[in-house]
Structures are given as C-alpha cells and as structure tokens.
C-alpha cells in the first residue's frame, strides 16, 4: 500500500462499519497496515477531521459525520443579534433546514467559518439545535472595517455586521509600512501621518488572533482604503469583505504578458477554418471581453445549422500554470457597475482570448443541426479558427429586427441572418416551453454612470429579442456538450439544479393560496421518523422517550411544469412580482457537480457550462475535458477531483453574486440618500404585518412603508387577503396598488429605504 492513504476509500470503510464508528487500532487491523502505513492512516484521519468528515470523539475513536444524526459539518451563518445557524453540507436525517446555534455557541466562530457541530436537540417539526465542536476552516484571514480610537485601545469594527467581534489593533500595528501599502493599493497612504488620522477611516486588517467566546480578536492594519463616502471606496470595501482575489501574482502577470498576440501557422493545424463565414459577437454596449460568437443558416431540408464558437481559453491557459492557479482561486469574474475583477489577466480576457472583430481567434466550436421542432438531429464539436465579422450589441440587433432604417442599411449584409436567428431562437424557446422549462422574468438593475463615473440613475435593465437569441443559443450549446460527454461516459462537471425541498414548496403553497393560486400538486405527503433522547441534551425542550415527527417526504411529485403553469397564470397580474420572487426562493440554487442530476428549472436531462471560459472556471474545465475526449477519447479528470472542483466553483460563484448584489443595494441607498423628503410615484409589490413594500416608478429601488406611519387611521394586516385595512375608514392597501410616497429615511448601513404615504394637499377653504 502507498504511504498516502486515499481519504475517500478510508471514509467509505468507516461509514460501512456499525454506527459509522471505528477506532484507530481497529482500522489498522482491518486494513492490514504495517510500519509507515500506520503513520499514513493517522495523517488521513486528521485530514478527514479537518474537513469535518469524521470527528474524533476521544483519543483514537472516530465516527463518520456523513449520515450521522448526531454530528454535522457546514458553514456558519450568524445573525447581527448574536445567534446563528450551521448550514449543513449534507442533509441530516430528521432535520428540516439549518441547525440553530444559541448566542453562546455562535460566539465560538465568525460568520462564514466552516465548523463541526453536535446536534443537541431535534424538535418534532424537524428544527434542530446544536453546539460547536470544532472550527474547521476560518473564513476571514482579513477583516475590513472602520478604525476607531478608544480610551481602552484602538479597534476595527467590521463592516459585516454578522461579525460581532471587534478586532483590537495593538500599538505599533495601526499604520502599514509605506512599501506594503504601495504593494497593495498602488500608492503610499500619504494622508496618514499619525494614528489619530485613521479615526473613522476604512481599513483592512490581517487577523492575528481569532476572536473566541465573544472576546475581541487581534490584528494589524495592512491597508488604508479611505473614508466610506470617498469615490470608489465602496467597491474596495466589498472586494475585501467578500475576500475577492483582486491582485494578480507577478508570475501570473508575467506568463500572461509572455503569450504571443499573433496566431502562428502551427497553432492552426488540426483546426477547422471558419474565417470565411460572417460570424458575429452580440453583447452589451459596455462589454470588453467577447467569449462567444454565433452563426446560423437555413439548410435545404428546412433545418437550421447553428454554430456557437467559444474562445479556446484552454489553448492558452494550461493546468498548473500560474495563470491557471489564479483562475482557479478566483473561480469567476466579478462585475461591478464601474469596474470588473476579471478571472484572467486583461492580456488574455480582453485581447488574445477575446473574439474581437476582424482578428483571427482560436475557438472550440459546437456545430448543431436543429429541425423545425427544435430537436437536435446532429451535432459535432471541433477546434477551429474564426474572424468575427462584426462586434454587435443587443441594441443594434434589436434595432435591425425592429426595422430601424439606418441600422438595417448599416448592417444590410447581416439583416437576413439576424432574422433567421430570431426564428430559430423562437423555435428553441417553444421547445423548452413544451418540456416544462421555467422562465422567470427576474428584473436586473442597471446602474447609470456619467463620464466621471458618478452615479446618475438606477433603472430596470431592459431585455429584448437579441438577448433571447443569445440566451437560447448558449443554452442549446451547453446542453449539446453535456449530452455528448454523458453519452460518451466522459467524467465532467455538470451544472445541476436539484428538485426543490418539500418544506419550501409547502411554505410557498401556503402563501400562494392567499392569492388564490396553487402549484397544483395537492397535499404534500409526509415521512415519519422516531426521535429519542440520545444526543439531544437535557435542557429546555429536550426529547423524552421516543415519539414520531413528520416532515414532507423527499419523493413527492412535482415537476418544473407546475411552476411553468403558475407563471403563465400570474403573468401581468399585480401579484406577479411577489409570487415570482417567492417561487424562485422555493427552488434550490443551481450548482456544479460531477454527478449529473439534471437541471430542474430548464427541464434538461443533462446540462453544463461551456460558453464562458473567459469568466467562469468550470467552463474552462469543460473545455479541457471536451478537447481531451475529442483528441484521444480518454478521460481527463477523476471523479474525486471533479467533485472538489464543483464545490469550489459553486462557492466562488455564490461569493461573487453576493458581492455584486450587495454593491448594487449600497449604490441604490447612496443614490437615494440625497433625495430624502422627495415624493415619488410607486407600486406596492408586497404586504406584511409590519407594512408594505413599494417599488418606485422612476427609479428601480424598493423600500418599506411601516404600518404605524400610515396616515388617517389605525391600520391592521389581514393575512387572508394579504391586505392592510384601516379600522375606521376601511382604507385598503393591496399588492398592485399605485400611490404617491415620500422618502423619509435612508439606512446606508443596512442599505434600506423607508417611505411614507404622501398625503394629497387639501385646498384651503375660501373665507366667506
């Protein structure tokens, strides 16, 4: 046996033992280990313990946490009020949702840490409580926050209010050395002459001692970012709050700059030449990297030939190189309104890998023949070379298709092809509708900036048929690649979307019935399980003896068609916005996995991400897998490696999405801060017992009108109709109502707006 023991096989062995438990001596005997192999066993057990896959109950006694009803590993999600939850990596039998952590337990870690918890209580409805056994991995090697001078010392108060513990800054560690500051932010903090100058400024701190049991941690300032209201500091804060890698290492930059900008003849060998075709890219006006280009032609048999050409990033970024290691660490590009944090250096992302017009570029191409019903009748994947004929925008293509005379004249040679693209996109969309694919029309925010980068507006991003064309073609290419690799038995990364959790579906159904709607699934069946005393503790609410509890069964019957039909019913109705949002919340998040479980929302049997290798690392992996399979028919990566890559990619995707969303909300709050006291036309988009939420007509922002501020009466919330009604006047506020509101307050910390109903000005009575 090799000196390094495989963790997966060792863990599998422990799981198969009675109760998933084993001792070190038992494992040595059963695995017949000798000499150095025993040391390798200890090392493997420690690695599993660090990952939370096993827990050492006492010296030499181990239990596997997967499948256990006593232990769970996961991520800490802490609340500003002190309590928190452990979000388990895997479902725990009998437990519905996350595991509650009382304040004393939550204080043992920081928000985002990975931890191992012991379940101390499971209630009859599946709610569980636990205690922290071990912090497995710290989420915050650095913390960004406000520097505060205090009589008892200097501290940094974290921007993230879920991190309750302040970080103490010992004397002499307040100001970074000039060289360190220049290395990090590009300029020495010239304005910082003394510690007093730091008071109230935003800084980034390296944590030297992590806080425990509510006590402050200890750290040193490594960056001075400026005041929170300074131009551009908001982005810098969020980059550091979410730990987004934003500085390329010198070796990665050196490698990127050394890559040639011209394509040699040798690089073209074995590639199909598409340079004679009028292939185009279609992107937004502000896009700088173009990783997909398309071409469509109607065939003599009435079918369509669709070509989707994707930048061949894998030709330039080889596994294990500095650029590849940094791309893996970043996982994805992150897009803010005024800048991007790219996955690849600009020498690649906006130059040699970008499908710029009138320049030769290497691609990996999906060639798909599609019939009039949208079915794929043939598909082929080849390495190729293209020369984009035009850099098109969504606005320009839409104008051509809508008959804009100037645009149709300018793009006369392409107009007919755009019309064919529209026809094919419509066919593909109808095909997806037939099989039950869900189309949530979730509005996106468009932050408007002037030439100086200052925010001048925030509106709903407009979508048109050109967006739909590219969306349908990319979906078709991704699905084609996934089905090809699956049929070939090539291990790969899938983009999966699992069936929704029964409890979340039940919660949504309860709300939908208040509006007179339903998913049409009937009563949710339940599963029954026994709860005993073991591992539940003896405190408040501890179980006594054995009893039965119920939860919705995991095998209940629901399909994407249930969601699709409901979306059709609510289309154009006042409640469409809130029900669409709540439906989306009832679904699980899509993620990356080496195991194909299909894509629920798309109603696709196999799906992957192939079309954006410039900005998503999973797409780059799929390119490498497809290229290896096309060249040799061999597998590229083992399932275990793919599983870890999928987990990492899912994490970096969520991290980027959270940072982008938070900055948008911050920008909205700062934009509206100068408009306190102004009145706006608005639409009620949701109601609750504490008030109603409005969305402004002019600006794409949302806020709360508290129920106690409603004028002219005492108002109560009526849950059955989800209406707010005045006791005396019977004045009613309902979802879909339009009204005039006044902005009363902006909370820039929580990024929330508070509105009041603007009362009409009553005319003065004339004196007799």
Q: For 289-304, what is the HEC assignment?
A: CCCEEEEEEECCCCCE
In whole angstroms, what is the distance from residue 380 CA to residue 272 CA? 12
Q: CA 351 → CA 257, 333, 614, 623, distances in Å?
A: 11, 16, 11, 19
Place of tokens 């609410």: 541
**Helix, coil or strand: residue 509:** helix
Contacts of 685 (CB under 8 A, 6+ apart): 577, 578, 693, 694, 695, 702, 735
Instruction: Output phi, psi for 323, to 5 deg.
Output: -65, -40
Place of tokens 């806020």: 703
Q: List the one residue out of 75, 76, 49 whose CA is nearest residue 64.
A: 49
In whole angstroms, what is the distance from residue 562 CA to residue 558 CA? 7
Q: What share of the chain is helix, strand, coil (3-state, %, to 5)?
A: 30, 30, 40
| Strands 334-336 vs 280-283: parallel, antiparallel or unpaired | unpaired
Instruction: Say how far residue 616 (Cα) sits from the centre of its chain.
Output: 12
In whole angstroms, what is the distance from residue 438 CA to residue 649 CA? 24
Token pair belonging to 400:
């051509």
Contacts 24+ apart (CB under 8 A), 1-6: 1/31, 1/33, 1/37, 1/40, 2/40, 3/36, 3/37, 3/39, 3/40, 4/40, 4/43, 4/44, 5/37, 5/40, 5/41, 5/43, 5/44, 6/44
CATH topology of domain 71-137: OB fold (Dihydrolipoamide Acetyltransferase, E2P) (2.40.50)
Token pair belonging to 669:
């709050």
Would you state the CATH architecture of domain 674-757?
A: Beta Barrel (2.40)
Please check whether the two domains, 71-137 and 674-757, share a CATH topology.
Answer: yes
Largest Cα–Cα separation, the chain: 111
Place of tokens 């508290």: 706
Instruction: Say how far residue 177 (Cα) sits from the centre of its chain.
Output: 36
**Helix, coil or strand: residue 442:** coil
In whole angstroms, what is the distance from residue 146 CA to residue 243 CA? 17
Contacts of 555 (CB under 8 A, 6+ apart): none
In whole angstroms, what is the distance from residue 88 CA to residue 82 CA? 19
Contacts of 219 (CB under 8 A, 6+ apart): 143, 156, 167, 168, 169, 173, 205, 206, 207, 208, 209
Instruction: Say how far residue 217 (Cα) sits from the centre of its chain.
Output: 29
The answer to whether 475 and 438 have CB atoms below 8 angstroms apart is no
**Helix, coil or strand: residue 639:** helix
The confidence score (pLDDT) of residue 184 equals 54
Other beta carbons within 10 angstroms of residue 231's beta carbon come to 11
The answer to whether 520 and 505 have CB atoms below 8 angstroms apart is no
The answer to whether 206 and 142 have CB atoms below 8 angstroms apart is yes
In whole angstroms, what is the distance from residue 88 CA to residue 110 CA? 16
Element (H, E) at 552: strand 547-552
CATH topology of domain 7-64: Arc Repressor Mutant, subunit A (1.10.10)
In whole angstroms, what is the distance from residue 456 CA to residue 362 CA? 39
Token pair belonging to 479:
């699905």
Token pair belonging to 156:
């940094």
Q: DSSP states of 251-268 as a string?
A: HHHHHHHHS-SS--HHHH
The confidence score (pLDDT) of residue 492 equals 97
Other beta carbons within 10 angstroms of residue 219's beta carbon come to 27
The confidence score (pLDDT) of residue 553 equals 53
Token pair belonging to 742:
């006044």
Q: From the CA atom positions of the chain, what is the Rg in Å?
A: 29
Other beta carbons within 10 angstroms of residue 695's beta carbon come to 18
Place of tokens 């049409």: 520
**Helix, coil or strand: residue 584:** helix
In whole angstroms, what is the distance from residue 443 CA to residue 324 CA? 34
**Positions of the chain with pLDDT lower than 70, given as ranges:** 1-4, 67, 178-191, 213-214, 522-556, 760-768
Contacts of 646 (CB under 8 A, 6+ apart): 493, 591, 592, 593, 594, 618
Cα dihedral 111, 113, 115, 118, rounded to 10, equals: 0
The answer to whether 605 and 299 have CB atoms below 8 angstroms apart is no
Instruction: Output phi, psi for 40, to 5 deg.
Output: -65, -35
Token pair belonging to 408:
């149709």
Burial of 42 (0-12, 13-18, 19+ CB in 10 A): middle
Strand partners, 84: 78, 101
In whole angstroms, what is the distance from residue 513 CA to residue 518 CA? 6
Other beta carbons within 10 angstroms of residue 729's beta carbon come to 11
Instruction: Output phi, psi for 445, to 5 deg.
Output: -90, 135
Q: List the one residue out of 426, 375, 443, 435 whose CA is nearest residue 560.
A: 435
Domain boundaries in the chain? 7-64, 71-137, 142-241, 250-495+604-663, 674-757
In whole angstroms, what is the distance from residue 725 CA to residue 720 CA? 12
Q: List the one residue out of 604, 615, 639, 605 whose CA is nearest residue 625.
A: 639
The answer to whether 649 and 493 have CB atoms below 8 angstroms apart is yes
Evaluated on CA atoms 408, 411, 412, 414, the torsion sign reads negative
User: What is the assigned CATH class of domain 142-241?
Assistant: mainly beta
The model carries a pTM of 0.86
* Secondary structure (H, E, C), 346-408: HHHHHHHCCCCECCEEEEEEEEEEECCCCCEEEEEEEEEEEEECEEEEHHHHHHHHCCCHHHH
Element (H, E) at 136: strand 128-137
């Amino acid at each position: 046996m090799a000196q390094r023991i495989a963790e997966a096989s060792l863990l599998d062995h422990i799981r198969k033992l009675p109760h998933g438990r084993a001792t070190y001596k038992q494992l040595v005997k059963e695995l017949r280990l000798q000499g150095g192999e025993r040391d390798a066993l200890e090392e493997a057990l420690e690695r599993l313990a660090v990952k939370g896959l096993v827990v050492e109950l006492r010296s030499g006694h181990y239990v596997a946490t997967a499948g256990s009803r006593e232990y769970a590993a996961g991520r800490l999600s802490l609340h500003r009020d002190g309590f928190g939850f452990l979000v388990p990596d895997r479902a725990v039998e009998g437990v519905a949702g996350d595991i509650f952590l009382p304040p004393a337990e939550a204080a043992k870690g920081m928000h985002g840490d990975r931890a191992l918890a012991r379940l101390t209580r499971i209630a009859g409805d599946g709610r569980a409580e636990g205690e922290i056994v071990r912090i497995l991995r710290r989420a915050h090697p650095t913390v960004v926050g406000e520097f505060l001078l205090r009589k008892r010392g200097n501290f940094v108060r974290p921007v993230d209010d879920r991190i309750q513990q302040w970080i103490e800054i010992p004397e002499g560690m307040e100001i970074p050395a000039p060289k360190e500051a220049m290395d990090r932010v590009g300029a020495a903090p010239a304005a910082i002459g003394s510690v007093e100058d730091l008071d109230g400024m935003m800084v980034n701190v390296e944590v030297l001692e992590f806080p425990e049991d509510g006590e402050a941690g200890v750290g040193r300032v490594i960056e001075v970012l400026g005041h929170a209201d300074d131009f551009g500091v908001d982005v810098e804060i969020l980059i550091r709050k979410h730990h987004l890698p934003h500085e390329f290492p010198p070796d990665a930059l050196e490698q990127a700059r050394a890559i040639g900008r011209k394509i040699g003849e040798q690089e073209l060998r074995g590639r199909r030449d598409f340079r004679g075709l009028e292939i185009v890219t279609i992107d937004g006006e502000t896009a700088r990297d173009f990783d997909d280009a398309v071409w469509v032609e109607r065939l003599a048999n009435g079918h369509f030939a669709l070509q989707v050409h994707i930048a061949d990033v894998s030709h330039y970024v080889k596994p294990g190189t500095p650029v590849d290691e940094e791309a893996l660490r970043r996982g994805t590009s992150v897009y803010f309104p005024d800048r991007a944090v790219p996955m690849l250096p600009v020498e690649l992302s906006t130059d040699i890998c970008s499908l710029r017009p009138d320049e030769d570029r290497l691609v990996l191409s999906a060639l798909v023949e599609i019939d009039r019903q949208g079915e794929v009748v043939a598909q082929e994947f080849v390495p190729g070379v293209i020369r984009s004929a035009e850099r098109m925008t969504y606005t320009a293509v839409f104008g051509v298709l809508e008959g804009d005379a100037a645009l149709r004249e300018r793009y006369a040679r392409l107009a007919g092809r755009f019309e064919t693209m529209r026809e094919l996109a419509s066919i593909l969309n109808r095909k997806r509708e037939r099989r039950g694919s869900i189309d949530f029309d979730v509005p996106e925010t468009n932050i408007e900036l002037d030439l100086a980068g200052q925010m001048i507006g925030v509106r709903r991003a407009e979508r048109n048929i050109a967006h739909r064309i590219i969306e349908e073609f990319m979906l078709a290419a991704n699905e084609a690649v996934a089905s090809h690799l699956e049929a070939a038995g090539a291990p790969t990364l899938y983009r999966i979307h699992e069936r929704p959790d029964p409890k979340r579906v039940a919660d949504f159904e309860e709300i939908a019935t208040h509006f007179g709607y339903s998913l049409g699934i009937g009563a949710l069946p339940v599963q029954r399980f026994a709860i005993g005393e073991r591992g539940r503790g003896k405190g408040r609410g501890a179980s006594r003896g054995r009893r039965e509890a119920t939860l919705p069964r995991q095998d209940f019957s629901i399909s994407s068609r249930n969601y699709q039909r409901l979306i059709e019913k609510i289309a154009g109705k006042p409640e469409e916005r809130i029900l669409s949002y709540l439906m989306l919340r009832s679904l699980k998040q899509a993620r990356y996995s080496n195991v194909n479980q299909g894509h629920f929302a798309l109603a696709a049997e196999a799906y992957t991400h192939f079309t954006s290798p410039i900005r998503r690392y999973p797409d780059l992996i799929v390119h490498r897998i497809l290229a290896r399979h096309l060249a040799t028919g061999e597998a590229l990566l083992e399932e275990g490696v793919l599983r870890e890559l999928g987990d990492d990619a899912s994490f970096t995707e969520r991290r980027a999405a959270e940072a982008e969303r938070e900055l948008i909300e911050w920008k909205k709050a700062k934009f509206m801060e100068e408009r306190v006291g102004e009145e706006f036309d608005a639409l009620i988009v949701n109601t609750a017992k504490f008030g109603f939420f409005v969305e402004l007509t002019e600006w794409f922002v949302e806020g709360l009108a508290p129920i106690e501020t409603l004028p002219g009466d005492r108002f109560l919330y009526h849950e059955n109709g989800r209406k707010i009604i005045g006791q005396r006047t019977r004045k009613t506020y309902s979802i879909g109502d339009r009204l005039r509101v006044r902005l009363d307050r902006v909370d820039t910390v929580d990024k929330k707006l508070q509105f009041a109903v603007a009362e009409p000005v009553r005319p003065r009575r004339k004196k007799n």
